[in-house]
Structures are given as C-alpha cells and as structure tokens.
Structure 1
Amino acid sequence: MAKFYSSNRLHHLTKLLSFIAVVFVLSGCSDPAQSLMDDYASRLGRTLGLEIKAPSARDLEPLPSITTTRADIADSSISLVELVATRACGLDVLLGERNSSLGKVMTPSQRLKYELAFLEQVQPCLNNPEIAPDLQQKLAAIASDKTRQIDKHWQNFLQQDETLRQQLHPYRSLSEPNSVAGVAETIQALHSLLALQKSIVEQNWQQASSINPEQALEALYKANTLSQLQQSLRFSQNWLQSLNQQLEQLDLKVVCPAGKHSDKAEILNTILLQYFIGKVQVYLAQVDGTYQQLYPLLQQLYQGTAPEQPISQRFEVPNTELKAELKRHVIWWKAVQQQCPKS
C-alpha cells in the first residue's frame, strides 16, 4: 500500500510540474504587435535613460444591455386545420418548423430568417384557389402584421445576436503585424448584411430570404477581425499617448548637449529608422487601413441603433486620437533630430 501511495504521489507531482511548465510557456508567449511596441519603447528608454512605464487601462463605454434593446413582438397563431390547409401552397413545412420544439427557441438570426421566409412563401398562398377565402384573408392579415414587425426582428438581430455583440467587444490580442487575414471575409460578411438590410427596407422578400444571415455570422466569428481591430486601435492609442507624455517630459538638451558629439544621436537615428518607421509606423498604417475598410460598413449597418454611439467610441474615437498621437510623436522626433543631429 505504501509503495502504491508513493507511486501515485509521484505521478501527481509529475503532472503538476508539467502543468507548471505549460503555464510558464504560455505566460512567456506575448502578443506580436504588443511586443513590437514594447521593444521600440524599451530601446528608447535605454538610450534616453528613461524608465518607460506601461499605460494604465482605460474605461470602456458599455454596450446597451440585451434586456434594454430587446423588442417584444406579438406572435401570430394558426390552427392545426389551417396549417394543414396551407399544404396546397407549400407553407405548411415552414409553419411546422416554427411550431416545433426547436422553432420555439430560435436565436435572433434564425427568427429573422423565418420571418423573411414566411413573407416570401406566403405570397403564392394569397392567390391560390385551393386556399379558402377566409384563410387567405387571415394569411394576408398575418403577412401585413409581419411586414410591420420585420424591422423589430432586424433590430433584435443586430442588437441581440451573440456573435455580433462579440465582435463589438475588444479581443484579448491585437491584429497580427504584416497580416490582413480575415479582412476580406469580414468585408464580404458586412456587405451581405447590408444587402439584407437594403432588401428589408425595400420589402423585397424574395431577395431578402435568399440571403442567409447565419453565413455572415459564421464568417465574422471565424475571422474575429472587428474585435481584434477594436483592441488594436484602443491599445495603440493608449500606448502611444502614454509614451508621448513620458518622452515630452525629457529635456533633450541634457540628452544631447549642444556642441558635443554624442553616440546617442546615432543610436536614436537607428531606432527612428529601423524600429519606429520600419516597424511601429508600418503596423499603425496597417491597422488604419483595416479600419478604413471595415468601419464605414459597420457604421452604416448600425446607423440609428442604440449601439451606434458605443461603437463609435470603440472604433472611430480611438482611430482619430491615434492619428493625433502619431503626429505628436513625429513632432517629438523632429525635435530630437534638431537637438541630436547625426555627426
């Protein structure tokens, strides 16, 4: 028994050490974009004799809650006899799906798909001679109600869907440097949703029902580009603002006394060319390029909705502020070049 206990204890110890090793390796992994910025800042700090401090986290305006944005929509009912009668025009299958156990717990995207499919498929029923006139009138009234309600279903989709809300929350990592992965797929998904939105406004039910919003959601989920873009914008702006504030407190006359040769001038020029212009500025231009392609589409999609303002605060505001901080940083570098010219 004692031998078994020792062996078992050794087994658990080995597992624990393996777990610790995995945690150590994972904790040692860093975000490539953040590492790029940290490397640049640390090189500046060592050369200038300045301890660069990490920026403090910034508060994020919350998205409107699901409960406050949910639109309650009255449901229509149809008897079993009437449902069977709609078999003559092919509506019975769709109505049966809605009345199933899964149909009663539809996600916002599934419910939107159903409503659009109903509005498209009910049209032949309204002129079908095999459908009784009283049932035709009932179906026409239901179709009229659903036409008035469809915008609420669209709003519920935009504001309640988990995948869309996930894209409006910052991701834990930044966009990869030198990568445009997921951008084309995200553009296509947003264009698809905008086409769906346009079809609903125009009440083109045939076209609207042919656009599957869940395909767009799947593309957005796999790419996760909007979430990463948001994090990249907010982090980069906060990081550069903090760096600028610390650098501007430095007296460049002490760093490079006038009339005295300083090796720091050569080192600073290398940091400027290889690390700021060659890496940091390239990355920020990449982020801005992605923003220019995606944000106008996102803004158009959510125009006039409750999340419109928080979305602006998460994308447009940090992008504008990041550009301002970038100009501020360039001005600082010009001052460095004037005070610390290359020999």
Structure 2
Amino acid sequence: MSRAWLLVVLISSSVLLLAGCSGSSTQQLLDDYLTRVTRALEIDAIQPEARPTLPNWPSASQREVPLQGIRLGLLEAYGLRACPDLLTRVAERNNQLGRVMIPSQRFLYELRLASTLQSCVENPSTQVEAETLEELERLTQQVYRRLPAVFWNFLVSSDEMAGLFSLSGEGLSPDRHLPLSEQQTQLEYLLETARLLENQQRPSRYQDFERELRVFRDQAVVGQLLRAFTDANRYLQAVNHQLRQRLEGTLLCPRPTPELPRAQISQNVLLNVYIADVQPWFARLERKAQIWLPAINQLLDSPLAPSAIQEYRETWINPDNPETPWRRFQELNRQHAGYWEKLLQQCGLQPGLAD
C-alpha cells in the first residue's frame, strides 16, 4: 500500500468536515473497530487502557489576577468639573452596583473610563491647571496599563469560557450552533482584542463584547475535544499494538497473494470500517482542533497567566507540546497508517497506486 495514498486518506482532516459520533455511538464504533481488527488478524484480543482523569478548568481564585488600584487624587478636588463625562464615570464606579461589578461589566467600564480620560486630556476646551492635567495624563496611562489584566479576568471568569472547558457529555456532538468559519471569526476577534490592549489601544467594537463571547455558550468545545482525543488515543494505542504484534509474528500472507481470504478480510476492515466510519470522525476532530486549540492556547499564553493556567495550557492544549492529546493523536494516527501499509504489503495489496 502506498504510504502517500494511505496518509492522504487517514490524515487529510483539514479538508474534511463530516458528521460525527457522540456518546455511546462513539464508544460502540471504536469497540467495533478494535474487535474487527482482532478477528481479521487472528490474534488475541486486547482492551484499551482506562480513560485517564482529565483536568477541570481551574477555579476562579486560580485563574484571576489582582488588579492594581487607581487613586483619583487631585481629580476628585479639581479636575472633575472640567470633564463632566469623567464625573459620570466616577459616579458609576462609586455607586452600589459599581462596587460589585462582575468581570464583564468591569471590563466594559474600564474601556469606557479609558476612552473618557483620553478624550478629556486631548480636548482643547479642557481648562485645568497644569498639575491637574498631569494627573489626568497619569491616570489615563494607569488605566490603559491595567486594561490587559481587566480583560484577562473578564475572559477567564466568563461563564462562556468556563463552558468551553467543560467535561460534561460523552463526546463531540455534530455542530448545531455556529459554522466553524464563524467560530473562527469570533476567536480571531478575541485574539485581536488582546493584542490591541497589550499595545495600549482600545478595541473598536467593545460595546458588543459580551455578545461576542455569548456565541460560545454551551458548546464545551475544548473539553469535548480533550475527551474525544483521549478516547481516540486509547483505541489507537490498542489497535496499533495489535497491528505491531501481527507484524512481529508470522506473515499475514505466506505469499503476496491478494486473493487470500485473510488478505481480503483485512483490507475490508481497513476500507469498510476504518476509512468508511472511524476516519470521518477523526477528520472532524482534527478540523475542529485546528481552529480551536491554537487560538485558545494563544489567548491563554499571556504573561499575566497564573501558574494554574500555565500548567493547564502546557499540559493539555499547547500545540508545541508533543504529549498533549491532540499531538499524541496525530502521531498515533501516522503510526496507524504505517502499520496497515506494511501489513497489506505482505499480501501484495497496493491500493491507490493505479489511479
């Protein structure tokens, strides 16, 4: 079997987006594949390893960062009359609701405060003493400097972000919410916002920011991907062990004869079970992972990230770590292709060579 042909079939996931399996149907599909391989290769049955314990999204106290306080100083005494809008912002913060703002409200408030301060400083009609103007400029810089931390707390504390990492459910169900292209657009917007804030610039569409996150509600994409890849890896390890065991034993076919029943049965398992049923699900996982995991990894790869977030990101979703479930899946899938190629070559089977 041509390695190039088989690798195209097995890992051409970036262009495939097919309906997937979820829950018990996924388990049944993988169990059936393992059973069929065992029978076709006429070797002892093997059970996949138990599912490892997957991590929960860190608690609020582990993922949020403290915010540096800001004192209004001279503004409280002299500057507010020159900037009426700033007086409104200060009143918002000091009222009863302002003192108990949730992270999303706090982020939007800080963005409005930064905009108001900058307008006040840059407005030629602002008539204040030089000392007060310096205080306004200092305060503006302080607000801009801490915006990345306010954004971080908003992002990691939101129900939508916590929902993305939820481990509830049993698999990655078919897309019922947004097309992947739209999900990708929203992720890119979050990344662009983080970049702008790091450079002390304001996002242009911040009024709609809560709506931007709301599109991710109830999707649990990252948690489901981790669970799906973990299950796929367990079964790939088991099947690869079966294939390797057969390669190290007696030849599958004493002579390279494609007509032998054993050769035909093995080829049918590959084509009619793996490529027809299992691989489309794997392709869907791969496509979903390519959109979500690098983007989420980049969002969490911040100098502000507490140690719990850094550890979670590095261990489970960092694409540069070959031991994460996604990268491990890709390596096991490549091994899978190689083992099938070598086995069927023993029987003289070379599908894909004569196109």
Question: Per the shorter chain, which TM-score range?
Answer: 0.7 to 0.9
1:254 deviates by: 6.2
Distance 1:234 1:32, change over 3 A: same
Partner in structure 2 of residue 51 of structure 1: 45
Is 1:104–2:125 an aligned residue pair? no
Once residues 44 and 176 of structure 2 are traced to their aligned partners in structure 1, the CA distance between those partners, rounded to angstroms, is 32
Alpha-carbon displacement from aligned partner over 1:125-173 (angstroms, at most 9, x marks no partner):
3347577547655544432322232232233334444432442454533
Where do 1:212-251 residues align within 5 Å? Answer: 212-250=208-246
1:300 deviates by: 2.5
* Contact 2:82/2:128 (<8 A) preserved: no
Q: 1:114 aligns with which of 90, 109, 113?
A: 109
1:196 deviates by: 1.1
Once residues 236 and 50 of structure 2 are traced to their aligned partners in structure 1, the CA distance between those partners, rounded to angstroms, is 12
**Aligned-residue identity in percent:** 22
Alpha-carbon displacement from aligned partner over 1:32-81 (angstroms, at most 9, x marks no partner):
43433222223223443643413312244676654344322243466998
Alpha-carbon displacement from aligned partner over 1:83-122 (angstroms, at most 9, x marks no partner):
9956963334443333333332223232222111110122
Partner in structure 2 of residue 125 of structure 1: 120
Alpha-carbon displacement from aligned partner over 1:288-339 (angstroms, at most 9, x marks no partner):
2222233332233222334345224323322222122112222222243244
Partner in structure 2 of residue 325 of structure 1: 332
* Contact 1:163/1:220 (<8 A) preserved: yes
- Identify the range of structure 1 (186-195 vs 209-218) with the bigger mean alpha-carbon deviation: 209-218
Q: 2:254 aligns with which of 254, 258, 263?
A: 258
Q: 2:293 aligns with which of 289, 292, 295?
A: 295
Once residues 111 and 130 of structure 1 are traced to their aligned partners in structure 2, the CA distance between those partners, rounded to angstroms, is 27
Partner in structure 2 of residue 191 of structure 1: 188
- Identify the range of structure 1 (218-227 vs 319-328) with the bigger mean alpha-carbon deviation: 218-227
Unaligned residue ranges in structure 2 (runs of 5+): 1-21, 350-355
TM-score, length basis structure 2: 0.72
Where do 1:133-148 residues align within 5 Å? Answer: 133=129, 138-148=135-145
Distance 1:68 1:295, change over 3 A: closer
* Contact 1:115/1:146 (<8 A) preserved: yes
Amino acid at match of 1:175: L
Once residues 78 and 214 of structure 2 are traced to their aligned partners in structure 1, the CA distance between those partners, rounded to angstroms, is 33
Distance 1:289 1:251, change over 3 A: closer
Partner in structure 1 of residue 32 of structure 2: 39
Is 1:202–2:214 an aligned residue pair? no
Distance 1:142 1:239, change over 3 A: same
Alpha-carbon displacement from aligned partner over 1:181-213 (angstroms, at most 9, x marks no partner):
5523321221111121122123223x3563543
Where do 1:305-324 residues align within 5 Å? Answer: 305-306=305-306, 307-315=309-317, 316=319, 317-324=324-331
Distance 1:38 1:149, change over 3 A: same
- Identify the range of structure 1 (40-49 vs 249-258) with the bigger mean alpha-carbon deviation: 249-258
Distance 1:308 1:84, change over 3 A: same
Once residues 106 and 143 of structure 1 are traced to their aligned partners in structure 2, the CA distance between those partners, rounded to angstroms, is 21
1:220 deviates by: 1.8
* Contact 1:234/1:318 (<8 A) preserved: yes
Unaligned residue ranges in structure 1 (runs of 5+): 1-28
Matched length: 313
Once residues 80 and 45 of structure 2 are traced to their aligned partners in structure 1, the CA distance between those partners, rounded to angstroms, is 79
Partner in structure 1 of residue 265 of structure 2: 267
Distance 1:102 1:251, change over 3 A: same
**RCO greater where, 1 or 2, for CA within 8 Å and sep 6 or more?**
2
TM-score, length basis structure 1: 0.74
* Contact 1:229/1:291 (<8 A) preserved: yes
Aligned-residue RMSD, C-alpha: 3.7
Distance 1:173 1:136, change over 3 A: farther
Once residues 165 and 209 of structure 2 are traced to their aligned partners in structure 1, the CA distance between those partners, rounded to angstroms, is 17
1:240 deviates by: 1.0
Amino acid at match of 1:100: N
* Contact 2:108/2:206 (<8 A) preserved: no
Partner in structure 1 of residue 276 of structure 2: 278
Distance 1:251 1:294, change over 3 A: closer
* Contact 2:60/2:157 (<8 A) preserved: yes
State which structure, 1 or 2, has the greater radius of gyration over its C-alpha atoms: 1
Once residues 193 and 124 of structure 1 are traced to their aligned partners in structure 2, the CA distance between those partners, rounded to angstroms, is 25
Amino acid at match of 1:328: Q
